[in-house]
């Protein structure tokens, strides 16, 4: 049986409905507060937002490089904290033993080294694949081949991202603490359903982008009316809020997809109906 988008969305909304209170608390502590505090504490974040608003790619990349060069250690801490929160939420919504919040957080702390290692391995794989595909076109000196290589690299990276998207739930829910085996398990679970899964993710991403734009415009205008300082504070609050909402939805989506594909993997003849 193939991956069913409708079943996955129903499972996602069911997880959101049953766990929204606990998920909101964890997302608030591990995502909203750190992200909003970072946006307020680092004045360079304003430069990055200005560069993004200008649409100047060179200015945006320069602002990103300056930010990470100056505060790499802050982002390392943030990555660890948010990794713990993500894994804890996954464990909370899908562990068969119905863990308490404390047990879920313990799972997050225990699993975060594996999660970070898996992320680093993915990043290295993306860099190698993209570098090879783009480099081959660039070496020829033909702009058309360089552009074609870039397009192919983008498609291949999207494919790999989809194939490895279930590494986090494999780590948090299945308890796999070997990063290589977690990536292998994700690859195996998505076999035969990669294209369907990609478009499911793409539809959700498009919906979230539209929703975030609307929320940012409405709330941003409300804060802007109160003055410049209120507008700066509002940007930080809105960014943190959208980040927390996105993570909560991602957690439920990944848990639902992992459960459905796990069921199909264990029993290929099973239906996707509840």
Residue 42 belongs to some domain of the structure:
yes
Split into its structural domains, the chain has a count of 1
- Summarize pLDDT for 192-242 with one digit per residue, the tens: 999 999 999 999 999 998 988 888 888 878 777 877 777 777 877 888 899
Tell me the torsion sign for CA atoms 251, 101, 273, 182.
positive
Read off the pTM: 0.85
pLDDT at 274: 35
pLDDT at 272: 40
pLDDT at 44: 61
The segments of the chain whose pLDDT lies below 50 read: 270-274
Helix (H) or strand (E) holding 55: none
**Is residue 225 a contact partner of residue 35, using CB atoms and an 8 Å limit?**
no
Range of the domain at 253: 5-109+191-266
**Is residue 183 a contact partner of residue 122, using CB atoms and an 8 Å limit?**
yes
Nearest to 174 by CA among 163, 188, 161: 188
Residue 208 belongs to some domain of the structure:
yes
pLDDT at 254: 96
Residue 156 belongs to some domain of the structure:
no
Residue 135 belongs to some domain of the structure:
no
Residue 139 belongs to some domain of the structure:
no
Residue 165 belongs to some domain of the structure:
no
Residue 179 belongs to some domain of the structure:
no
- The angle at the Cα of 157, spanning 272 to 31, to the nearest 5 degrees, equals 75
Residue 164 belongs to some domain of the structure:
no
């Amino acid at each position: 049986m193939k991956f069913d988008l409708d079943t996955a969305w129903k499972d996602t909304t069911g997880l959101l409905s049953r766990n929204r209170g606990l998920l909101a608390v964890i997302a608030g502590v591990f995502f909203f507060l750190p992200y909003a505090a970072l946006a307020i504490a680092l004045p360079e974040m304003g430069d990055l937002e200005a560069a993004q608003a200008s649409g100047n790619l060179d200015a945006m990349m320069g602002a990103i490089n300056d930010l990470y060069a100056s505060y790499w250690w802050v982002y390392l801490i943030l990555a660890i904290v948010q990794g713990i929160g993500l894994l804890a939420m996954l464990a909370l919504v899908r562990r068969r033993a119905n863990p308490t919040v404390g047990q879920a957080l313990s799972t997050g702390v225990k699993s975060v080294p594996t999660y970070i290692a898996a992320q680093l391995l993915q990043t290295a794989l993306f860099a190698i694949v993209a570098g090879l595909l783009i480099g081959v076109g660039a070496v020829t000196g033909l702009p058309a081949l360089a552009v074609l290589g870039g397009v192919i690299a983008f498609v291949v990276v999207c494919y790999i991202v989809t194939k490895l998207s279930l590494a986090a739930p494999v780590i948090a829910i299945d308890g796999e603490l070997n990063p290589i085996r977690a990536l292998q398990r994700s690859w195996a679970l998505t076999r035969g359903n990669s294209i369907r899964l990609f478009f499911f993710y793409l539809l959700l991403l498009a919906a979230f982008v539209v929703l975030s734009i609307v929320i940012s415009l409405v709330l941003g205008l409300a804060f802007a009316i109160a003055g410049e300082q209120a507008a700066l504070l509002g940007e930080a609050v809105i960014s943190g809020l959208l980040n927390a909402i996105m993570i909560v939805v991602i957690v439920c989506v990944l848990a639902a997809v992992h459960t459905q594909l796990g069921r199909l993997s264990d029993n290929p003849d099973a239906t996707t109906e509840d």
